[in-house]
Structure 1
Amino acid sequence: MADTSLRERALRHLARRDHSRVELTRKLAPHGTAEEIEEILDRMTELGLLSDNRFAEAWVRGKAGRFGSARLRHDLAQRGVPRDTIDAALDAECTEGEIERARAVWNSKFGGAPADAREWARQARFLQSRGFAGDVIRKLLKESPDESA
């Protein structure tokens, strides 16, 4: 009975969205022993229902338009995805460069060059909070509006 309940819980979580193995383990931990959870997750991996690679690619695909590589890398690491899987997902899904993604985020929020140092700092903080690297932010905010076209 407990095994069926645990399997059903895992399937319900996976039906909503892909999860990493570590993330699903955390969600199932209050409902079963570590051995039961590992057994269920191993079986789900065998059946192709659970995949860290698929989870990482879907996560990057869904978030790459709004966040920089540093933020995506951090979010995936927090969800227990291995570093090599994160690197592969970023390489596969982030086909456009970091500067182009930063420019798209910046244009949707601000659309214009900073008028003074205070505005420059505000825009830089926003882009930094979105996970874009400092050199990308400096390059983007230093270019004149006609250069980005």
Structure 2
Amino acid sequence: MGYMDGKSTLVEVRVAAMDLLARREHSRRELHNKLERRFSEDQVAQALQTLAAEGLQSDSRFAEAFVRQRSQRGYGPLRIRQELRQRGISDALVAETLESCDVDWYEALEGVVERKYGGHPATDLKEKARRQRFLLYRGFAGEQIREVLD
């Protein structure tokens, strides 16, 4: 199968793309990277353009679903922003999506702290620094972290 035998068609590329999209939303770049392993560049580009025009693939929809899913798993806006960029989402769309999502990042941060540390304050500066590093890694802003941990 694939373009190695020179016989794959746009229909096959479309079916492969639809199979991926049926499982979850994908960014255009993600779909491109997965499909180019099996099909020619021209076929992939053409199929993705058609899917986007038909509204079956949408970077905007992908970004919204991604923000919702990652924020529910305890990740902050800085980490989510970086992950979206890695998946080929434009800075403008990332900013727009993070702005329009109805996530209270302060509340999300407090939820992570509560789940991870059970409301117990840090016993010493070393422990507090460890918690700050963890929360920074999770993608929350240093200013908010200090506010929540103090």
Of 97, 120, 131, the residue aligned with 2:128 is: 120
Structure 2 portions without partners, runs of 5+: 1-6
Matched residue of 1:2: which SS? Answer: coil
Task: Write the distance in 1 (CA, Å) between the matches of 2:60 and 2:25.
Answer: 10
Task: Write the distance in 2 (CA, Å) between the matches of 1:29 and 1:57.
Answer: 25
Encode CA deviations 1:86-124: one digit per residue, 9 max, x unaligned: 11111121431x222111111110021111112101211
Match of 1:129 in 2: 137
Encode CA deviations 1:37-96: one digit per residue, 9 max, x unaligned: 111001101111100000000000111131111000000000000111111111121431
TM-score (normalizing by structure 2):
0.89
Q: RMSD value over aligned CA atoms?
A: 1.2
Match of 1:147 in 2: none
1:33 aligns with 2:33: no
Equivalent AA in structure 1 for residue 145 of structure 2: I
1:2 aligns with 2:8: yes
CA contact (8 A) 1:64 1:94 kept: no
- Residue identity over aligned pairs, in percent, reads 37
CA contact (8 A) 1:67 1:132 kept: yes
TM-score (normalizing by structure 1):
0.90
CA contact (8 A) 1:21 1:80 kept: yes
Task: Write the distance in 1 (CA, Å) between the matches of 2:94 and 2:129.
Answer: 30
Match of 2:68 in 1: 61
CA contact (8 A) 1:10 1:24 kept: yes
Deviation at 1:127, TM superposition (A): 0.6
Deviation at 1:133, TM superposition (A): 1.3
Matched residue of 2:103: which SS? Answer: coil
1:51 aligns with 2:58: yes
Task: Write the distance in 2 (CA, Å) between the matches of 1:130 and 1:119.
Answer: 17
Task: Write the distance in 1 (CA, Å) between the matches of 2:50 and 2:26.
Answer: 15
Of 78, 88, 105, the residue aligned with 2:86 is: 78
Match of 2:23 in 1: 16
Task: Write the distance in 1 (CA, Å) between the matches of 2:76 and 2:123.
Answer: 24
Number of residues paired by the alignment?
141
1:108 aligns with 2:106: no
Task: Write the distance in 2 (CA, Å) between the matches of 1:107 and 1:67.
Answer: 14
Task: Write the distance in 1 (CA, Å) between the matches of 2:134 and 2:103.
Answer: 23
